[in-house]
Amino acid sequence: MKLPCIATAVLASIVSAGAALAAGSSSGVPDERGVASTVSAMGSIGEAAALQAKGRYKRQGENCVWDAGDSGPNQCAPRTAGRFKKSGDSCVWDAKDNGPDQCTPPQGRWKTSGNDCVWDAKDSGPHQCNPRQPRK
């Protein structure tokens, strides 16, 4: 499992605190300082998890949109995850990101491909599907 950077740093400090506990006690029983630092580091993991869990998909009318300021379970899943992002002078679809679109491409349209709704930057005409509709 790949951990986010903050969780990796916190985990490293817990391992370090555990090593200090073992090395600093002649009886093998941790002293108050060692216990306090380990408990503090474990609290940081909970805070890191809370930071990572911020945001969820919510229903808004006919759409399923990302709300970065909310938490809790997702209310829906969009038909096509992602958003348009600025990339230099271009506006590109990033399927691995979420949030509001940062731009609108000058051309292209959403097309139906089987059960999927896919972006075709080289096509024109009306959209065939809505990527923000909740999956069924």
Asked if 41 and 74 sit in the same domain, the reply is: no
Asked if 64 and 11 sit in the same domain, the reply is: no
Asked if 81 and 112 sit in the same domain, the reply is: yes
Asked if 41 and 61 sit in the same domain, the reply is: no
Bridge partners, residue 113, by sequence: 116
pLDDT of residue 50: 45
Domain membership flag for residue 127:
no
Give yes or no for residue 31 having a pLDDT over 90.
Answer: no
Asked if 42 and 64 sit in the same domain, the reply is: no
Reported as a pLDDT band with limits 50, 70 and 90, residue 22 is very low
Asked if 63 and 48 sit in the same domain, the reply is: no
Specify the higher pLDDT residue, 105 or 45. Answer: 105
pLDDT of residue 24: 52
101 closest CA partner among 62, 63, 61: 63
Q: 68-98, pLDDT tens digit by residue?
A: 999 999 999 999 999 999 999 999 999 999 8
Asked if 60 and 38 sit in the same domain, the reply is: no
Task: Please give the Cα distance from 17 to 51 (Å, whole number).
Answer: 23
Domain membership flag for residue 133:
no
Bridge partners, residue 109, by sequence: 120
Asked if 42 and 10 sit in the same domain, the reply is: yes
Reported as a pLDDT band with limits 50, 70 and 90, residue 53 is low
Tally the domains of the chain: 2
Asked if 35 and 91 sit in the same domain, the reply is: no
pLDDT of residue 61: 94
pLDDT of residue 7: 41
Asked if 75 and 106 sit in the same domain, the reply is: yes
pLDDT of residue 2: 44
Domain containing 31 equals: 5-52
Task: Please give the Cα distance from 88 to 105 (Å, whole number).
Answer: 13
